[in-house]
Amino acid sequence: MMEAYEAMKEIFAATAAKTGVAFEEKFIAACRGYLANDVAGKVLDECLRVVGPPRWTDADIAWMQELSEAASPGKPFDLHRGLEFFDEGIDYYGQDDGDCSWIVPIARVNWAYPTNVPIHHWAWTALSGHPSSSPGPLMASEAMALAAVTFLTRPDLVAAARAELRERVGEETILVVPPGINEVMAKDPMAFWEARW
């Protein structure tokens, strides 16, 4: 990734020079994609099945339907209410656990939002702050607590998760790319938000 970054930087600098445009490079941050751990994922899935899916009330569903209609008028309301274990495909979420997942075995748990409430949309934010979304995080936290107890009482599962990670990563030392903005955020965070750093 860093080789690609350096190559792009050269291309952009050359293009700027050819067109007479000023060019200034500022590296903010980078992270690896998420590397799921199947052993940890299956433990978490078993715990989810003990906890059960989110326990939305009729009032929760009605509010989500109203929100969905406001976000995507005319589209049918769709909310996945079951439990699924996803171990294929691509996770399109770029989250901070990407780098960690190459060093420590990690599994994720998530809960459904209505499919016609787009991510990074005002309605997503509204639902995230509304009590109607609470059954999802409650389910996830209960499953994670149960998974933690499972791992604490089953060192064989911890060993298996570590072995799977080592098999996937090999003996390579995974280096984490430190954010280029650490010093700015520590000394003058407003400089970042005001775009003057």
Region 21-48 average pLDDT: 88
The pLDDT value recorded for residue 24 is 84
pLDDT one-digit tens code per residue, 138-148: 999 999 999 99
The pLDDT value recorded for residue 92 is 60
- pLDDT band with cut points at 50, 70 and 90 for residue 91: low
Q: How many residues does the chain have?
A: 197
User: Is the pLDDT reported for residue 175 higher than 80?
Assistant: no
Region 189-194 average pLDDT: 79
Angle CA(164)–CA(166)–CA(171) in degrees, nearest 5? 160
**Averaged pLDDT score across all residues of the chain:** 89
- pLDDT band with cut points at 50, 70 and 90 for residue 90: low
User: Is the pLDDT reported for residue 77 higher than 80?
Assistant: yes
Alpha helices, DSSP H, located in 24-121: 38-51, 58-71, 97-100
User: Is the pLDDT reported for residue 75 higher than 80?
Assistant: yes
The pLDDT value recorded for residue 184 is 76
**DSSP 8-class letter at 31:** -
Return d(Cα 45, Cα 144) in angstroms, integer: 10
Top-ranked range on mean pLDDT: pick from 22-36, 59-73, 82-96, 111-125:
59-73
